[in-house]
Amino acid sequence: MKKSERAVTTLHIVDDDYFHTLGTPLLRGRVFEPHDSATGSPAVVIISQRLAQQVFPGEDPIGKRIRPDIGTGDQKETLMRTIVGVAGDVRGEGLSAPAIAESYVPYAQLPFAPMSVMVRTGADPQEFLLPLTKTVQSLDKDLPLLHVKTLDQYVSESIADTRFESVLLGIFGALALTLTALGVYGVISYTVARRTREMGIRLALGAERGTIIAMILQSGLLLVTMGVVPGLVAALLLTQLIAGLLYDVSPSDPSTFLSVSVALVAMALLASYMPARRAATVEPMVALRYE
């Protein structure tokens, strides 16, 4: 980044326990402390890893100074603030959006309204919603409380559309897998019916029933393999279209492709077993008279 360029950053005004409460990791430096007050202490700021990489690539940002240009009503703060820490990136714009550059200033040095209160609990957070609401109202009964929810609820709401799309795609996938099994079963059943006389001759000549079953299962396995291999190639190319729906999962995730391939093969073998068992139990004389 050129020296004349200005980094765009999202500002957060937080207290001393903010990072511990949210579980945001501190990668370098320190968190805010009680002595980072409004008077008698240096103006400090914590920046995110992404902002550090943008403004100080390949450098240690601790101890360097920046001017956040924070708007405070009719005035603008022009203090140079010393960087005391680098925090991990947070996906504040949603799980599917990339992390953005962020900076954090202690509330004691820059009181600013409105406020958001976050509480970390060791039990079910739902149990603390009502007591927390009453505690705030006991301080000021006219103070409105908006969006009182757990962090899990916020996350769930942020991915509601993505979850719906994923469920819909999963249903279509299950239907496709069912149709595949029915198709394999139909083809194998038709093939076995056409070879009934052949099966009878093989059994009459001393072929083992297990050999008959294995032969038909092999035919079904060959059939599904001829579909799975080109299907995998096509899927590797087409999954790039749904990359935006994925979070922390590669469009070409090996475990996903392997599990789906195994499921298809297992489904094909199961669909082939019933015709194979029926062919293996046919009586040779009945099969020889079959037209």
Instruction: Give the mean pLDDT of 276-291.
Output: 67
Cβ proximity of 133 and 143 under 8 Å: no
Q: Which of 115, 134, 149 is the last residue of a domain?
A: 115
H-helix or E-strand spanning residue 229: helix 209-238
Could you please report the per-residue DSSP string of 126-148?
GGGHHHHHHHHHHH-TT------
The answer to whether position 2 is within a domain reads no
24-73 pLDDT, tens digit each: 899 999 999 888 887 778 889 999 999 999 888 888 999 998 877 654 44
159-174 pLDDT, tens digit each: 788 788 888 988 998 8
The answer to whether position 51 is within a domain reads yes
Instruction: Give the mean pLDDT of 279-287.
Output: 69
Range of the domain at 143: 122-158
Give me the pLDDT at residue 87, please. 93
Number of domains composing the chain? 3
Whether 33 and 110 map to the same domain: the answer is yes
According to DSSP, the residues that pair with 14 across neighbouring strands are: 106
108-153 pLDDT, tens digit each: 888 876 777 788 887 887 777 788 888 888 888 777 777 777 888 8
Better pLDDT: 33 or 199? 33
The answer to whether position 186 is within a domain reads yes
Whether 24 and 111 map to the same domain: the answer is yes
Instruction: Give the mean pLDDT of 97-104.
Output: 83
Instruction: Give the mean pLDDT of 219-228.
Output: 81
Whether 185 and 284 map to the same domain: the answer is yes
Whether 165 and 129 map to the same domain: the answer is no
